[in-house]
Structure 1
Amino acid sequence: MASKVLRTFGKFQHATCLEKGPAALLPESYKKFYREWKLTTPTAVHYTPEDGRWKRNEVTGEVSPVQNIPIPVFFPKESDDQLWGGEGVVQGFQQRSHLSRRVPHFWIPMLKRSVVYSEVLDKYISVVVTDRALRLINAHYGFDHYILKTPACDLQSLLAVSLKRKILQDLQNGCPSYAERPDKQKDVLDQYKKYLDAYTPEEIEWYGYSLAQAVSKFKVQQEKEKEESTVPFKQIFRAQLIEKLKAASLDESNNQMKELEEGNSATSWLSKINPFSKKQET
């Protein structure tokens, strides 16, 4: 199994890019994905790791320690838009004849353009792949199973993890691509919905973004929340003015009612003592 890489110097652990700068404010859901993507040791592709701590030479009987030292692999920028299946560019030296000196050499994966089909998205995707990526897709019995089962550190490319987020979101929303075919929609959900158990809705939302994309997304969300929580002064003053007008209107109506009541009582009292007023006939 893949193990987390510890960036340490002596007894002190170095702070990663997630613990300083704007990335430190990102939600834990994204940090979990980034650790899986960039800070986890991927599956060995360019060498075969040996088990155990010691090994014995079958010819000489000499015992030596097992040293599984990963081969440095370089992933160019173009690989983020392709599916290399964990392969990368290996830099080393090559001795082309026993009489010549060794010279620098780059081993580059064999690339080809192919078409893969996503059953969840119901789309054909034209993409540059390697033979190993095609073998892995066939070994997992489909592109969706390969993408959903493989951890981000082995998918490696930004295109692959972005497709994984899109597939998970479509599964979460009930496969809208099959909205007009309910029977097919049910079959696809029954086949792939088990992959949703490993993620929360927030983890799916933040899955598959680069660090720069995640920081931009977080800033947009913060600005949106700030706009929603901040009420403009004109709205506050308008509400206060309306309340004052309502209160003034209510006081004015109360005063008018009071004056009317006082006027009616005074009229009735004067009518009793006025001898010239007409009396109602009984």
Structure 2
Amino acid sequence: MASSRLQVTARQLSKTFKKKGRFEIGIASELPPAYKKFWREWKVLKPAAVHFVPQEGKWKRDELTGETYPIQNIPIPLKFPAEINEGIWGGEAVVKGFQKRDDRRRRVPHYWVPVLKRTVVRSEVLNTHLSVTVTDRTISLINDHYGFDHYLLKTPACDLVSVLALKLKKQILTELMNGCPRHAYDPKKQMEIYEEYKTYLSSYTPEEIEWYGLTWYEALSKVAKLKEAANKPIPLKNVYRKNLVEKLKSAGIESKSSSADEISATTSWLSKMNPFGKKDEA
């Protein structure tokens, strides 16, 4: 009885003192839903299995013993070095583990690194060739999707992983949203490419494309700049000068320096009293 009461109390306390999430602290709370959607696609969604073969179903029966046991598709822990953001690895990463190279010796730590190669890919929408670092799986995926642009646009952010791939995807979506202006020299080809890829725009809004592909710090920096531009302070001298000009106009007082430009051009009496200042030429 006492244990059940303690459990209820613990649940109530957990609801009361709930730990704040990433988007509830500081300036991150002002991030728009468009970026939250991208972040969920990039960091929260479960990526496709690359380094292991997942088994279907929930239960499996052993053919020898007839024993039934649950299927557990536990992904292999991966290491994502900084170099992964400079290429397109197709979902591959570095695997850390142990390797037993001799039966008479103990196992030793080992890193399995993907085989990287430099190749050139072509983007039809961007109308350019790109030299990128890829893996064999990346080339296979590009061939399976019948083109580099189709591969980027069909693959979710959690499988692209690298920042370079996300930036290119955002650039392609922006180009499609603007009507493929890089093919303006050939209107017929421009229309063909737009008709081929325009179906991908239905999954995104202009705001989502604007925030797509930004890293966490880039998104926070953008929010800070937008906030600073919206709340940019106006110098009080401009406000007082404008009020003075309006009062003079309403009172009907004529003055040589009635306009704001002429008032700003006139020198103050303090500058005339400055002995080190430049004197007006006669």
Give the TM-score category using the shorter length.
Answer: 0.7 to 0.9
1:276 — aligned with what? none
For 1:173 and 1:156, the matched residues in 2 are separated by 26
- Kept in 2, the 8 Å contact 1:118–1:144? The answer is yes
Moved more, 199-208 or 56-65: 56-65
Counterparts of 2:100 and 2:155, CA distance in 1? 36
Residue 36 of structure 2 aligns to a residue whose secondary structure is: helix
One-letter amino acid matched to 1:194: T
Partner secondary structure for residue 247 of structure 1: helix
Structure 1 residue aligned with 2:235: 232
User: Aligned AA for 2:198?
Assistant: K
Number of matched pairs: 240
For residue 82 of structure 1, the aligned residue among 80, 87, 93 is 87
Q: TM-score, normalised by structure 1?
A: 0.81
What SS does the aligned partner of 2:197 have?
helix
Structure 2 residue aligned with 1:109: 114
Distance 2:235 2:47 in 1: 51
1:126 to 105, 112, 131: 131
> 8 Å contact 1:23–1:211 — kept in the other structure?
no
Q: RMSD in angstroms over aligned alpha carbons?
A: 1.8
1:235–1:21 CA distance, 2 compared to 1 (3 A): closer
Q: 1:1-282 counterparts in 2 under 5 A?
A: 15-227=20-232, 230-249=233-252
Counterpart residue identity of residue 243, structure 1: E
8 Å Cα contact 1:47/1:71 also seen in 2: yes
Report the CA distance between 1:188 and its aligned residue: 0.6
Paired amino acid for 1:17: R
Name the SS of the counterpart of 1:204 in structure 2: helix
Q: Flag structure 1 segments of 5+ consecutive residues without an equivalent.
A: 1-9, 252-282
User: Structure 1 stretch 39-48 or stretch 234-243: which is displaced more?
Assistant: 234-243
- Deviation per CA, 1:186-240: give whole Å up to 9, x if none: 001000011000011100000001001111111111111222xx44323322222
1: CA distance between counterparts of 2:164 and 2:19?
A: 29
Larger CA Rg, structure 1 vs 2: 1
- SS of 2:252's equivalent? helix
Query: Kindly tell me: are residues 28 and 100 of structure 1, through their superposed partners in 2, closer, same or farther at Cα, counting changes over 3 Å?
Result: same
Give the C-alpha shift of residue 14 in structure 1: 5.2
What TM-score do you get using the length of structure 2 for normalisation?
Answer: 0.81
Code of the residue aligned with 2:158 in structure 1: it is C
Compute the displacement of 1:247 (Å). Answer: 2.4
Given the superposition, is the C-alpha separation of residues 76 and 14 from structure 1 closer, same or farther in structure 2, using an over 3 Å criterion? farther
1:84 shift after superposition: 0.5
Following superposition, the deviation at residue 15 of structure 1 comes to: 4.0
- For 1:139, the aligned partner's letter is D
Distance 1:217 1:243 in 2: 38
Instruction: Name the aligned partner's letter for residue 106 of structure 1.
Output: Y
Partner secondary structure for residue 131 of structure 2:
strand
- Point out where structure 2 has 5 or more consecutive residues left out of the alignment: 1-10, 255-282
**Would the aligned equivalents of 1:155 and 1:161 in 2 still touch at CA under 8 Å?**
yes
SS at match of 1:60: coil
* CA distance, structure 2, for counterparts of residue 62 and residue 217 of structure 1: 57
Cα displacement (A) at 1:158: 0.5
**Alpha-carbon distance in structure 1 between the residues aligned to 2:217 and 2:251:** 56
Q: Indicate the SS of the match to 2:42.
A: helix
Change (3 A) 1:153 1:170: same
Q: Deviations over 1:229-278 (max 9, x none)?
A: x4432332222222222222279xxxxxxxxxxxxxxxxxxxxxxxxxxx
Counterpart CA distance in 2 for 1:145 and 1:181 is 22
- Identity level (%): 54
